[in-house]
């Protein structure tokens, strides 16, 4: 890295009247390269060379965050984030990271982290939690939600933790000192997130999408099994369904990667077997029977679905011989054409605009399932296993064990016992 240099930008220049222009001193010094290109920081407008040099030295020392006791790697945050995304995340897809995670990190880095921190050296940011704290505070002032700010900070923290260990580029992660603080959540956002679907409302939705429609089974599965929407559409009725024992094996989720659909491990690799009752069994039996009828009716024009060795999903006409594993996706059109999680967005729009329920979303089916179990005294560990949570804390803290109904029950129980 170069030292601070100065120059008079008006040296040898004259104004329109032929007079020599007043001095306009500038300082400059080299900063971390970005994408292999040398970068410089400059500032002009100083009357004397001394003023420019002194200001440049202050800026240079601030930039370098002097006082470190070790030799850091000479890499910018922009280049390091690219390295981390490629080597720590992308190369570990389906080995701890889902494609959606990678895609989300890429967006956060491109849209937020690089513009804010890209020009800094990695080692300089490592001892400057105040810079990261200011970024968080600015995001709050700009109106970003707490969830969005948490996601941005989590992405940056994950990248910097990797720089600490295993890379040992820096000694500590500055994000550990950064606080988001309390943020008021809008009433509408809270209601949307915590919405529990009343039984009568679910029936109203089912009446709009009855048996034989493309959204009947996804609605039933989400409500009666509590699966994530990607897990719901990842169900293979040919291999995951055990009607005799009334069990559904959650072995994968359906995800889209660069315009191609794949079966990937469920979130947190939460492979599990979920039991169900007669209501869902009857619905699944009817679906399997109807699907066989559709295959006969459409004959060679029926679209069969196959799983390739790389777990991508393809479809071919029934009259073609395909050397891959045939599967029965949960939701297809009459002719076998695949429905996906993107298709479910139409269902939500109908519920919002036609049925007038703006709080409905795909995750509320899962939230309702867990909440109903908790309200009726089901052991938290059982709820955790059915929902496929990573640990019991998620089940206890986020989901279901402090509902208004349970609060009322607690009051009633105490009133009864206190009077004895």
Residue 54 and residue 119 in one domain: no
DSSP structure class, residue 266: P
User: What percentage of the chain carries pLDDT values higher than 90?
Assistant: 55
Q: Total structural domains in the chain?
A: 3
User: What percentage of the chain carries pLDDT values higher than 70?
Assistant: 90
329 or 396: whose pLDDT is higher?
329
Neighbours of 234 (CB within 10 A): 27
Range of the domain at 312: 192-363
Compute the distance between CA of residue 407 and CA of residue 401 in angstroms, rounded to an integer.
10
Is the pLDDT at 263 greater than 50, yes or no? yes
Residue 86 and residue 199 in one domain: no
User: Of 161, 184, 207, which residue sits at a domain end?
Assistant: 184
CA distances from 279 to 221, 239, 245, 358, 397 (A): 11, 21, 14, 27, 30
pLDDT tens column, 330-347: 999 999 999 999 999 999
User: Of 35, 64, 93, which residue sits at a domain end?
Assistant: 64
- Give the CATH number, domain containing residue 356: 1.10.443
In a domain, 299, yes or no: yes
Specify which residues 332 forms β-bridges with.
338
Residue 251 and residue 289 in one domain: yes
Residue 248 and residue 351 in one domain: yes
CB 174 within 8 A of CB 126: yes
Q: What is the pLDDT of residue 54?
A: 82
Residue 198 and residue 57 in one domain: no
160 φ/ψ sector (left φ>0, alpha ψ -120 to 50, else beta): alpha
Tell me the three state secondary structure of residue 119. coil
Residue 35 and residue 154 in one domain: no
Strands 5-8 and 37-46: unpaired
Compute the distance between CA of residue 282 and CA of residue 8 in angstroms, rounded to an integer.
85
Question: Residue ranges of the alpha helices (H) in 20-175?
Answer: 49-64, 77-84, 99-108, 114-117, 122-126, 129-141, 146-164
Residue 345 and residue 219 in one domain: yes
pLDDT tens column, 340-394: 999 999 999 999 999 999 999 999 999 999 999 988 888 889 999 999 998 888 8
> Among 120-124, 157-161, 169-173, 403-407, where is mean pLDDT lowest?
403-407
Specify which residues 46 forms β-bridges with.
25
Is the pLDDT at 118 greater than 80, yes or no? yes
Residue 117 and residue 217 in one domain: no
Q: In 3D, which of 170, 163, 165 has the Cα closest to residue 123?
A: 170
Q: What is the pLDDT of residue 365?
A: 96
Residue 163 and residue 211 in one domain: no
Residue 270 and residue 331 in one domain: yes
Structure tokens of 252? 């994968």
H helix and E strand count, the chain: 17, 11
Compute the distance between CA of residue 257 and CA of residue 245 in angstroms, rounded to an integer.
34
In a domain, 197, yes or no: yes
CA distances from 220 to 202, 216, 227, 356 (A): 9, 6, 10, 20
For range 307-321, the mean pLDDT: 96
In a domain, 355, yes or no: yes
In a domain, 407, yes or no: no
Residue 236 and residue 297 in one domain: yes
Q: In 3D, which of 109, 30, 17 has the Cα closest to residue 63?
A: 30
In a domain, 87, yes or no: yes
CA distances from 216 to 195, 208, 273 (A): 20, 9, 22
In a domain, 377, yes or no: no
- Give the CATH number, domain containing residue 114: 1.10.150.130
Residue 89 and residue 29 in one domain: no
Compute the distance between CA of residue 372 and CA of residue 408 in angstroms, rounded to an integer.
15
In a domain, 306, yes or no: yes
| pTM (two decimals) | 0.68
- Axis-axis angle for helices 216-225, 199-208 (nearest 10): 160
In a domain, 395, yes or no: no
User: Of 130, 157, 184, which residue sits at a domain end?
Assistant: 184
């Amino acid at each position: 890295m170069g030292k601070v240099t100065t120059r008079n930008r008006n040296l040898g220049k004259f104004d329109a009247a032929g007079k020599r222009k007043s001095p306009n001193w500038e300082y400059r010094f080299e900063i971390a390269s970005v994408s292999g290109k040398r970068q410089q920081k400059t500032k002009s407008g100083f009357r004397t060379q001394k003023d420019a040099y002194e200001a440049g030295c202050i800026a240079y020392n601030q930039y370098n965050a002097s006082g470190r006791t070790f030799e850091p790697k000479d890499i910018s945050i922009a280049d390091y984030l690219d390295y981390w995304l490629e080597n720590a995340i992308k190369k570990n897809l389906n080995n701890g990271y889902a494609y959606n995670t990678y895609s989300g990190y890429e967006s956060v880095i491109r849209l937020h982290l690089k513009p804010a921190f890209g020009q800094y050296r990695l080692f300089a940011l490592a001892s400057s939690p105040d810079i990261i704290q200011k970024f968080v505070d600015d995001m709050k002032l700009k109106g970003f939600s707490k969830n969005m700010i948490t996601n941005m900070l989590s992405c940056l923290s994950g990248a910097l933790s990797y720089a600490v260990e295993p890379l040992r580029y820096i000694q500590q992660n500055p994000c550990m000192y950064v606080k988001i603080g309390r943020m008021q959540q809008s009433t509408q956002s809270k209601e949307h997130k915590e919405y529990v679907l009343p039984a009568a409302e679910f029936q109203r939705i089912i009446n709009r999408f009855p048996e034989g429609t493309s959204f009947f089974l996804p609605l039933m599965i989400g409500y009666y099994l509590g699966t994530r929407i990607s897990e719901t559409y990842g169900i293979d009725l040919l291999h995951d369904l055990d009607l005799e024992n009334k069990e559904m094996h959650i072995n994968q989720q359906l995800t889209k990667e660069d315009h191609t659909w794949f079966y990937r491990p469920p979130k947190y690799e939460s492979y599990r077997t979920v039991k169900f009752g007669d209501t869902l069994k009857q619905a699944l039996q009817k679906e399997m029977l109807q699907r066989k009828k559709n295959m006969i009716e459409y004959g060679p024009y029926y679209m069969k679905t196959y799983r390739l060795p790389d777990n991508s999903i393809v479809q071919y006409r029934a009259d073609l011989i395909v050397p891959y594993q045939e599967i029965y996706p949960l939701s297809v059109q009459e002719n076998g054409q695949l429905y996906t999680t993107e298709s479910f967005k139409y269902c939500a729009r109908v519920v919002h605009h036609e049925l007038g329920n703006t709080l409905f979303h795909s995750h509320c089916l899962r939230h309702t399932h867990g909440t109903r179990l908790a309200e009726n005294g089901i052991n938290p560990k059982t709820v955790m296993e059915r929902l496929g949570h990573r640990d019991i804390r998620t089940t206890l803290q986020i989901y279901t064990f402090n509902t208004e109904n349970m609060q009322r029950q607690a009051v009633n129980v105490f009133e009864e016992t206190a009077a004895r």
